[in-house]
Structure 1
Amino acid sequence: MTILIVTRTGDKNAPVAVARALEARSERTYRFDTDLFPTELQLLLDEAGGGRLVGPEGELALSDITAVWYRRNETGGRIPQDMDPQLRHPSREESRRVVYGLLASLGVFTVDPLDRVWRADHKPLQLKLARALGLEVPRTLVTNSPPAVRAFAASCPSGIVTKMMTAFSVHDEQNREHVVFTTPLGPKDLEDLEGLDLCPMTFQELIPKQIELRVTVVGQQVMAAAIDSQALPGARHDWRREGLTLIDAWKPYELPEPVRVRSLKLMDELGLNYGAFDFIVTPEGRHVFLEVNPVGEFMWLTRSPGLPIVEALADVLAGRAPRRMVPPLVAPGAAPR
């Protein structure tokens, strides 16, 4: 029996660590690097859901798969870039749909099913559910309307910040990477909102911070770490700006019981067994929910402050820890990515 790890070749540390933890539990693993399909890895899938994978790790009968850890997906990533775009796009799209079809047809426990991941990734849904469950959330406006942004800013005495729903970066003429972080907006920014009609953005009230939290939930286990993001000027609005500098400064944190319970309830609502939560703790001690990433990174937290996330994932995948059992869900309007 085998646990399938779905990722990509550039994903080094986490899959290796979890595979080792599973092997220490006498579980066999098979790594499916999706960027190798269809160019360097073969997949055979029949009408009964049977078939096999053939790749660098050898051959795996699909009937041997007992659980799946879905982490990263870059299907078709090695299809030649110089291929005719009219052929490359459908080739990559067809390859993606085959991989999605494989994962949907396996019928085994998955951390986490694609339809749940896609649904949970919608930030407006997260905020609505979190608020309904009693978690404090920031006042938020998602819009492409400059007048609406200015009116929203006027209603937020502490100011507002802007962010994107998905993390991304841009490259300048020297090919230097620039990541789009959470950014405060001042009066001059509000005067010049050019381009908003081409790309909507998310705006939130600026929440005063004492510290920030990364709360990792695996199954029913909740593990929290705190960072003093206010210690460095560049990290005050988004700790990721100084992520490498702060990487060893994370400390264990005891989450208040009401926040812990409500976070688990949000996982129930989203149907996830893995989630990486971001919280702000205000100077008054309020815990403000920002978002939960259904496939968020975690390895730096295993070093500092030493959270047992790898072990928790291995236990859930191997069936040694309580699992959140949820039926498949096709989210309305969800589209394969």
Structure 2
Amino acid sequence: MKKVLIITHTHDNESIETVTQQLKKYNARAIRFNVDLYPLHYGLTSCFEDGQWKVYLDHNGERESLHDIAALWYRRSHNLGSGLSSVLEGEYLSSAHGEIRTTLFGMLESMNCFQIGKFSQYRRLDSKEEQMKIASSLGLKIPETCITNNPDEAKKFVLSHPKGAITKMQSSFAIDRGGVEHVVFTNVINEDNLDAIDSLQYCPMQFQEKLEKQKELRITIVGDAVFSFAVDSQKLDNAKIDWRREGVELLDQWEPYNLPEPIKQKLLKMMDIYQINYGAVDIIVTPENEHYFLEINSAGEFFWLDRLIDGAISNQIAKVLSDEAPRRYIPVF
């Protein structure tokens, strides 16, 4: 039976268990590595002896060999090293966390097996600027964009778009207020609220032209399979700029969408360029039926869409992991 390593955390959603069950259909067994339990509850060992590399994961008195896994799915690494502050003095925490990250991600990068996407490739996708440049070079439409920490440049960009501009962070940006995390969503900015923009000097932001929306698309790509869904985010005032503000309310309102073939092929080409087998793509469809690429999320959620199509996305992930469906990326050693 093939072994598949899944990198996630204890509070991940239903998608992990769904894929785990699907893997069994293809004679594969999942090994779940919850990184928030490493290193307090997991032991991870890599050794080179007698001309061979051996990698082991120890947990609850049991040992799993990882050097013979058939595939790896890096999904999440939330709360890596959680609880370390309870056993280490503060002065050692930063260095210990650095070694934990280097050890785990170094091991993942070095695994000589098929991977849905290598950690380094996912980190490359952190560059929204490169994403847009690649998309544009492939002929996909992208919004007019300005990424800057220069208040004057930002003001000039906003004023040059009288229909409005939006501002958003390039990373998963959140503000901690009294121990509560507040996600920073996409917001509209115009001439009337430029007064506060001088603080931009201390934190760069991304500005884009405000596009009118007919629909918003979430396109989940797994290997060569493309699952396209659309939602009318304009039904709800609070979702018009960023549908995530009303994500729960819109949960059951997504519908399958017939993505034009040229758009589909350009997105698959992007996946080839990045050498990844999973991506969640966000696209805006304007009232003129023009499709504007926004970004690829390397580990974007899919579970609510999966429910609408009887687990077809999870099944496709399992098929790619077990080599029952086309893949991209070949180990180099």
Q: How does 1:163-202 map to 2 (within 5 A)?
A: 163-173=168-178, 175-202=179-206
Q: Distance in 2 between matches of 1:108 and 1:57?
A: 26
Unaligned runs of 5+ in 1: 329-337
TM alignment of 1:41-52, pairs within 5 A: 41-47=42-48, 48-52=52-56
Aligned pair partner of 1:105 in 86, 105, 110: 110
1:217 aligns with 2:221: yes
What CA distance in whole angstroms lies between the structure 2 residues aligned with 1:122 and 1:57?
41
Q: Equivalent residue for 2:155?
A: 150
**Cα offsets for 1:143-200 (capped at 9, x unmatched):** 0111101111122232100000112322434x44422111000223213213211100
| TM-score (norm: length of structure 1) | 0.93
Which residue number corresponds to residue 249 of structure 1?
A: 253
Indicate yes or no: 2:139 matched with 1:162.
Answer: no
Counterpart in the other structure of 2:22: 21
Partner of 2:80: 75
For 2:128, the equivalent position in structure 1 comes to: 123
What residue in structure 2 maps to residue 203 of structure 1? 207
The 8 Å contact of residues 154 and 207 in structure 2, kept in 1 or not, is answered as yes
Structure 1 position 78, deviation (Å) = 2.5
Which stretch of structure 1 is more off in the superposition, 302-311 or 135-144?
302-311
Shift of 1:302: 1.1
- Answer yes or no: is the 8 Å Cα contact 1:8–1:35 preserved in 2: yes
CA contact (8 A) 1:249 1:304 kept: no
Partners of 2:110 and 2:54 lie apart in 1 by 9
Runs of 4 or more, structure 1, over 4 Å off, are none
- Does residue 38 of structure 2 align to residue 37 of structure 1? yes
Deviation at 1:241, TM superposition (A): 0.4
1:298 to 285, 295, 302: 302
Cα distance in 2 between the residues matched to 1:82 and 1:193 = 43
- Give, in angstroms, the shift of residue 29 of structure 1: 1.1
Q: What's the counterpart of residue 331 of structure 1?
A: none
Displacement after TM superposition at 1:105 (Å): 2.3
Between the aligned residues of both structures, percent identity stands at 40
